[in-house]
Chains A and B, each alone.
Chain A
């Protein structure tokens, strides 16, 4: 079945350094939609980025990601980490398979930004 892999469980960075959180996925379907959700402590998870277009960069709130179908990747990047970026980040996948709309998440990567 479909799967999402986030290899890093915890990423610790110093403020001002670049951020890169890795996400790879597996699916037999060509119409993959990839997402990044961010979960701040004591809040609900919310959408950060989404893409279904191959090789197109998508940006929001200083973060960006590019879906590369050739390598099945959708890595999240930011040029300069801020303290307020500390949160749990999930990569997620859904595909158009009939009308069921199953959406699955990776294990998540906790980003800790230190002063």
Chain B
């Protein structure tokens, strides 16, 4: 079974602070994604990447940056955390076309106070 590991599993941050969420996959997958989950909003795409050293904006990128330094690692960065960014964040990876199944991490519960 493909593995996607997120760290930390939960985090409490202060408003205005910097937060980095990390994601590591051992699936040899090209595509990686960051989603946030909120009640009533489902899973919304923040950033994604289909190759190392390149990232793409998703549907709600404002307030977030992403970094893909290697095929295995994909980080989500909140430079100035805000209350509205309190949510559960999921990282996912998948292979190329013909292999579209997403493998999710366990999620990171972020609380911004």
Contacts and interface: CB of A to CB of B under 8 A. Distances in A.
Contacts of A105: 35, 42-45
B100 interface: yes
Contact of A50 (B40, B100, B107): B100
Interface string B84-110: 000000100010010011101111000
B100 A35 contact: yes
Nearest to B59: A104
B8 to A, nearest CB: 16
Interface residues of B, number: 26
A102 B60 CA distance: 13
B21 to A, nearest CB: 15
Interface residues of A, number: 26
A107 B90 CA distance: 15
Contacts of B50: 99-101
A90 B104 CA distance: 13
Contacts of A50: 100-101
B72 interface: no
Contact of B102 (A37, A43, A99, A108): A37
A101 B31 contact: yes
Contacts of B40: 9, 107
A103 B45 contact: yes
Interface string A53-66: 00000000000000
A90 B33 CA distance: 16
Nearest to B31: A101
Contacts of A108: 42-43
Interface string B22-58: 0000000011010100001111110010100000101
Please provide the 3 A-B residue pairs with the shortest distance between their CB atoms, ordered closest to farther. Answer: A107-B42, A44-B104, A105-B43
Interface of A: 1, 6, 9, 33, 35, 37, 43-47, 50, 90, 92, 94, 96, 99-108
